Chain A
């Protein structure tokens, strides 16, 4: 997952000002496809195990850097057993003892991947919901014009099913029970999940995807019924046409006989 470190960072992704030189900037490509910039800042603790006095300043600088990437997003800041983690979509910073940094980074990365995956699914649900009002009448009745849109409706049904499938796959990770005995990484993951309401968001997304799936499934049934009815109606029309032609032949024959006599 680690794509680059300080030496390979491209322009614009240099180590932010105000951070210690020991800090390491990593650019990570998450499994969901999103990129995460992670700054790991090692900080030696005092002799009594307390964090040094400079920690609040570092956390402030880290928060500013994380927030700069996505100003609209809420920045989550989690102080945890002398460490400090700051996260927002796309950026994260971990501050703590060097021995804990790797565990913290792993926990943040796992969480960022789940959150990004859920965010993408929420976005796809929102797009489905946008077309829901427009397509709702098609679940009840289909006409010729609607029938011509059946490819688009089918595509939305496939999308709803795909989103539901992804949500189902994400569910075990989102709703995972607390690890026992707890570790620093597991506690960090739980706190980040709580702060970002990951479980609730997942449930809402499942509800939306279910709604879209039910609607487009009904649309598909109506379209299929309409297609079958149309084929039958075509055959009925063909029979009517044949009968009209036969009747016309009969009428012309009768008229011609009448004219001859």
Chain B
């Protein structure tokens, strides 16, 4: 369900931002001169990345229960990671055009996350959490060292095709660099173990409820910390805040932003686990529509870009000879929001139809190639 929410949010945000919005690197998700104020920008990517870690943990449990060897699991994980990284580069080339091939978007991050999770699964959970905390902690320093503002022009990641820029973009200054975004799949991996535990136990109901309560409490703590950081940020000395550690920003992903979105995802996961997973058949109708969206989240991610970005490029070339001429100015936000809603309904129907006929999708292709 949470993955369906994530893909829904992502579709709406991308439609509105690419067709009507305006990036402003220095403002928060709900404010900014050119930003559409009602758009919940900045929550879809954390949801996706945390869920990639949670899904991996659940997938891992299934593989182990099937008796798959550690070597087989590693091979599948690495192949899936490399598949997503390759797909991410292809996506950058074909959707964002070749000059953005190394913009380090979310697919390459999730692919890298899978490679790292193949190592992290061998670690105790407390080490995984420690690694995520360290990643979060050193990220502001890395941005300062790498001179983050020098890579960003008018709210976009603007790099040269040099090894240094590409590597710095991957590590610290791209759209979704390893630091701090790797913390999200790592924490998702640990969160799944904390939230679900050994679900085969007969006493799962009693222990599960207390567990989801503690998980929800930690989510609230994360949100509260983020709020405190955001409010107190202007009052903190510059030596602490640093040049690139702003109050609440997605680009760069500030500490407050990371903690706030992690808290929100944790709280949502705990709440939905309690309400939906333990709600029996009461929510069957909702899950019947959410499941195809969740199951085909990767296909949805690719498809929704193709259906709204490619026509935008084509129409820009036809009307002005410039591919990006109409980007973010082609229609008012209400119209792009309506298009996004229409796309979601059509996609839910399409993927249900595909499932009924067992038609191939990006996910089945990945399984065919990697498993």
Contacts and interface: CB of A to CB of B under 8 A. Distances in A.
Interface of A: 145, 148, 230, 233-234, 237-238, 241-242, 245, 248-249, 251-253, 255-256, 258-260
B237 interface: no
Contact of A233 (B124, B146, B172, B178): B124
B131 A241 contact: yes
B250 interface: no
Given A148-B198, A258-B164, A259-B165, A237 B145 contact: no
Contacts of A230: 124
A255 B167 contact: yes
B179 to A, nearest CB: 7
Contact of A234 (B64, B124, B141, B164): B124
A260 B147 CA distance: 10
A237 B142 contact: no
B142 A234 contact: no
Interface of B: 64, 122-124, 126-127, 130-131, 134-135, 138, 141-142, 145-147, 162, 164-165, 167-168, 171-172, 178-179, 198
Query: Interface SS of chain A: helix, strand, loop or mixed?
Result: helix
B124 A248 contact: no
B172 A252 contact: yes
A236 to B, nearest CB: 9
Contacts, number: 57
B141 A249 contact: yes
Contacts of B165: 259
Given A256-B145, A256-B146, A258-B164, A245 B134 contact: yes
Q: Residue among A145, A230, A234, A237 with the most chain B CB within 10 A?
A: A237
A241 B124 CA distance: 12
B167 A234 contact: no
A237 B124 contact: yes
Contacts of B178: 248
Contacts of A253: 145
Contact of B135 (A238, A245, A256, A259): A245
Given A238-B127, A249-B138, 18 more contacts: A234-B123, A234-B126, A237-B127, A241-B127, A241-B131, A245-B131, A248-B138, A248-B171, A248-B178, A251-B167, A251-B171, A253-B145, A255-B146, A255-B167, A255-B171, A256-B146, A258-B164, A260-B147
A258 B131 CA distance: 27
Contacts of B147: 256, 259-260
Contacts of A256: 145-147, 168
A252 B131 contact: no
B124 A249 contact: no
B190 to A, nearest CB: 13
A249 B164 contact: no
Listed from nearest, the 7 A-B pairs whose CB atoms lie closest are A234-B124, A237-B127, A241-B131, A237-B123, A259-B164, A256-B146, A245-B134
A238 B130 contact: yes
A255 B147 CA distance: 11
Contact of B142 (A148, A238, A248): A248
B352 to A, nearest CB: 36
A237 B124 CA distance: 8
